[in-house]
Amino acid sequence: MKTRVCQILGCEYPIVEGGLAYVGNGRLAAAVSEGGGFGQVGSGGRSPEGFRQEIEIAASCTRKPFGVNVPLSEHRSPDAYFQVIEEMAAHIRAVSLSAGNPIPYVAPLQRLGLVVMTLASTPRQAQKAEEAGVDLVICEGVEAGGHDGPAELTTLSLVPAVCDVVSIPVVAAGGIADGRTAAAAFCLGAEGVQMGTRFVATIECQAHGAYKQAIVDGDVTATLVMERSLGRVTRVLDSPYTRAVLKQEQETPGDLNQILPLVAGRKNAAAALEGRLDEGWANCGQSLGLVHEILPAAEVVSRIMQDVGACLSRRASAFLQDGRA
C-alpha cells in the first residue's frame, strides 16, 4: 500500500509514530522505521542535549528515514531544539511541528532539505498549513492522547472535512490502533495514519512498564480530559490522580497557582517514566481500548498493515455482496 505519504517520508508503509513527550525515544523511532513505518524522536520533556542524544541513538539503530517532533509551546526556547535539528539534519527526514504557530519555521526547515509536517485540529488550520507550503498535514481528533485541539472535533468528522479542502496529503491521528481503525482512516481520505498510544505499549518505548500495562488493561472509557479550565485539552489515563486534578479544576477553575503544579511536566515524568501512576499523569488516547498486548514496534506496524488489507478487501467486498461484513 503506497501513498504519497510513503513517497514523501521515504517509508514502506504509511504508518507514522507520533511525537511522544517524555517517551518518544530514539530506539523506538528506529524500531518503527525498521518495521517499515516512520518513527519520530520526540523533543517534548527533553533538554536539547537529551533530544540530540536520542536522535543519535535512532541514527545508530537504523539507516531508514525517521523524523523528529517539536511541540512549540511546550519549550521555553524552541530555538535550541531547532539548532539541534540543523546540526543533525543529515540524519533527519522530517520535522513535525505541533502546539503553536508553525508557519515561521516551515521555510527555514525546508531549506535544510527537511520535510515539514504540521498538526491541524480544524479544516481552517489545515488550509493555512497548505498555504504556508507545509508538505503534509496531520489531522488529530479529540480521541488522541496528549494535547488536542480546542474545537474537540473527532477524527471521524475532522479527516474528511480536511480532505475536502486541501490537496496536500493528510495523515489521520486519534483513535487509530489496529487494522480496522487504520482502514477507516484510509476510507475517509487519509493517506497515512499516525499513532501515539499504540506505540507507547511497545517493547522499545522507554515508558515505564506500569504505564504500558495500564494501557493494555484499560478499556475504551479509561481516559479523561484535563486542563480545560486552562484553555487546553489534554487527554490522559483516568486515575485517582487525574480525577483529583479535575476536582481541583472544578473547585478553583483557571487558578494557575493551584492547578499548574498538578499538571507540571515533572508529574508527567513521574507517571510515564517512573511508573508512579498515583503521583502523576500520563498521556493516553481512547485507542487504548484496542491495545491488548505489549509488542515489538515493528510487529505493531506489520500486523496493522496485514489487517488493513483484510479490512479493505474482505470486509468491504462481503458487505457489498450480501450486506454483512
Ligand X SMILES: Cc1cc2nc3c(=O)[nH]c(=O)nc-3n(C[C@H](O)[C@H](O)[C@H](O)COP(=O)(O)O)c2cc1C
Q: Quote the CA–CA distance of 313 and 55 in Å, as a whole number.
A: 38
Q: Quote the CA–CA distance of 11 and 154 in Å, as a whole number.
A: 27
Q: Quote the CA–CA distance of 321 and 4 in Å, as a whole number.
A: 31
State whether residue 117 is helix, strand or coil: strand
| Binding residues for ligand X restricted to 62-91, rule: CB under 6 A | 69, 71
Q: Which of 8, 173, 237, 269 binds ligand X (CB under 6 A)?
A: 173
For position 149 contacting ligand X by CB under 6 A, the verdict is: no
Fill in the DSSP letter of residue 89: G
Helix (H) or strand (E) holding 42: strand 40-42
Q: Whole-number minimum distance, CB 211 to ligand X, in Å?
A: 8
State which residue, 26 or 258, has the beta carbon closest to ligand X: 26
For position 140 contacting ligand X by CB under 6 A, the verdict is: yes
Q: Which stretch binds ligand X (CB under 6 A): 7-15, 82-90, 278-286, 316-324?
A: 278-286
Are the C-beta atoms of residues 81 and 51 closer than 8 Å to each other? Answer: yes
Q: Which of 5, 8, 15, 21 binds ligand X (CB under 6 A)?
A: 21
39: closest CA among 52, 49, 61, 22?
61
Phi, psi of 234 (to 5 degrees): -125, 115
Site string for ligand X, 110-129 (x = CB under 6 A): ---------x----------
Are the C-beta atoms of residues 192 and 171 closer than 8 Å to each other? Answer: yes
Are the C-beta atoms of residues 223 and 321 closer than 8 Å to each other? Answer: no
State which residue, 123 or 192, has the beta carbon closest to ligand X: 192
Q: Quote the CA–CA distance of 25 and 180 in Å, as a whole number.
A: 27
For position 58 contacting ligand X by CB under 6 A, the verdict is: no
By CB under 6 A, the count of residues binding ligand X is 30
Q: Which stretch binds ligand X (CB under 6 A): 17-25, 124-132, 223-231, 313-321?
A: 17-25
Q: Which of 33, 62, 125, 197 binds ligand X (CB under 6 A)?
A: 197
For position 196 contacting ligand X by CB under 6 A, the verdict is: yes
Interface positions with ligand X (CB under 6 A):
18-21, 23, 42, 44, 69, 71, 98, 119, 140, 143-146, 173-176, 194-198, 200, 283-285, 287
